[in-house]
Amino acid sequence: MLVPLLTTFMVSSKRCSRYKNRQNATSVPEFHFILFSEDPDLQPVLSGLFLSMYILALFGNLLIILTVSSDSHLHTPMYFFLSNLSMVDIGFISTTVPKVIVDIQTHCPVISYVGCLTQMSLFIIFGCMDDMLLAVMAYDRFVAICHPLYYQVIMNPSRCCVLLVGCFLLSFVDLLMHEVAVLNFSNCEDIFEISNFFCGPSELLNLSCFDIFTGALFGLLPISGIIFSYFKIVSSILRSSSSSNGKWKTFSTCGSHLSIVCLFYGTALGMYFSSSLSLSPKTNAVASVMYTVVTPMLNPFIYSLRNKDIKTALRKILSRTL
């Protein structure tokens, strides 16, 4: 982890000096982010905070992956998708946080045109994969609760792999649509100030003078699937002849997933509204931190604290290592 950070630090430092020397010259586009604070005394605190959250997110998500892969009782569709969600979260937070730490240390939040497009591409792929996997996990809970006798048949290993590949393909289509929109900046003014701490899709679409609704479209698709799945789940539970305790126990199996869905979409809506309401850039950046950093950091701990199977598997791993 430290090697990529060091490499990025050196590259960013060189680019920063080049940027200052060529500030008034026409050249290949470069993009300038905002800094969370100009106060030099706060720089170590901010970089330490981001580094701590990054390490915590890596540790938590890697622990989930290790737990699921090492315990045969967790080799089920639900935990298969959970481990993939953890891998996606690692990629999601790694897209933004290392660059932020380097920007704070160098006091020069600049990124090249190619680097900006690369960061946006990775952000879209991992962000859309998060959306799609949450929808697939909701479908898994729908099948488990509404069609328990056919669960093993419907959610067989081949079907799970097809669903995972489908998530990636839809994410890739979303990426292509955004790439087509932002590849040409020639029709815009030659000002490339980004009111955030990373190259997000909405910022680049604004700079490219191109207004599309792909983000809303690909965000609406998975959330519609999640709402439909939970509508069917609640309807099935209410129609069942089980006792109130039995109904609650059945629905409680969805608790961890629902918590992550609320956290993910709650922070995403916060970021969207802070951007659309034309709030201050720093307010927008803080909302983005909640979505891009805090959410992937908390996801594994929500599952490990609310899920009995995960806690049991973790105890087994700890008892073997101690």
Task: State the CATH number of the domain containing residue 114.
Answer: 1.20.1070.10
d(CA 89, CA 83): 10
In a domain, 149, yes or no: yes
In a domain, 44, yes or no: yes
The candidate with the shortest Cα–Cα distance to 303, out of 148, 84, 157, is 84
- Given the structure tokens 């800094």, which residue do they identify? 35
- pTM equals 0.84
- What are 30's strand-pairing partners? 112
| pLDDT block averages, 10 residues each, the chain of length 322 | 42 47 53 77 86 94 91 89 94 92 84 86 92 93 91 93 94 84 58 77 67 59 89 87 73 82 84 65 79 89 80 81 68
Q: Retrieve residue 320's tokens.
A: 């073997």
Is the residue at 46 inside a domain?
A: yes
CB atoms within 10 A of CB 31: 21
The C-alpha atoms of residue 37 and residue 119 are separated, in whole angstroms, by 22
Beta bridge partners of 110: 32
Total number of domains constituting the chain = 1
Domain membership of residue 128 (yes or no) is yes
Question: Residue 195: inside a domain, yes or no?
Answer: yes
For 226-262, b where at least 16 C-beta lie within 10 A, e where not — what string?
Answer: beebbebbeebbeeeeeeeeebeebbebbebbbbbbe
Instruction: Confirm whether 182 is domain-assigned.
Output: yes
Burial class (CB in 10 A: 0-12, 13-18, 19+), 51: middle
* Phi, then psi, of 75 in degrees rounded to 5: -85, 65
Q: What's the rounded Cα separation, in Å, for the pair 118 and 39?
A: 30
Place of tokens 């490339």: 192
pLDDT of residue 210: 55
Q: For residue 277, with 0-12 CB atoms within 10 Å meaning exposed, 13-18 middle and 19 or more buried, which class applies?
A: exposed
Strands (E), the chain: 30-32, 110-112
In a domain, 236, yes or no: yes
The answer to whether residue 25 sits within a structural domain is no
The pLDDT value given to residue 7 = 41
- φ and ψ at 30, to 5 degrees? -130, 155
For residue 105, the enclosing domain spans 2-20+30-321
The span from the CA of 88 to the CA of 300, in Å, is: 12
Give buried/exposed letters for 129-168 (b at 16+ CB in 10 A, else e).
bbbbbbbbbbbbbbbbbbeeeebeeebeeeebeebbeebb
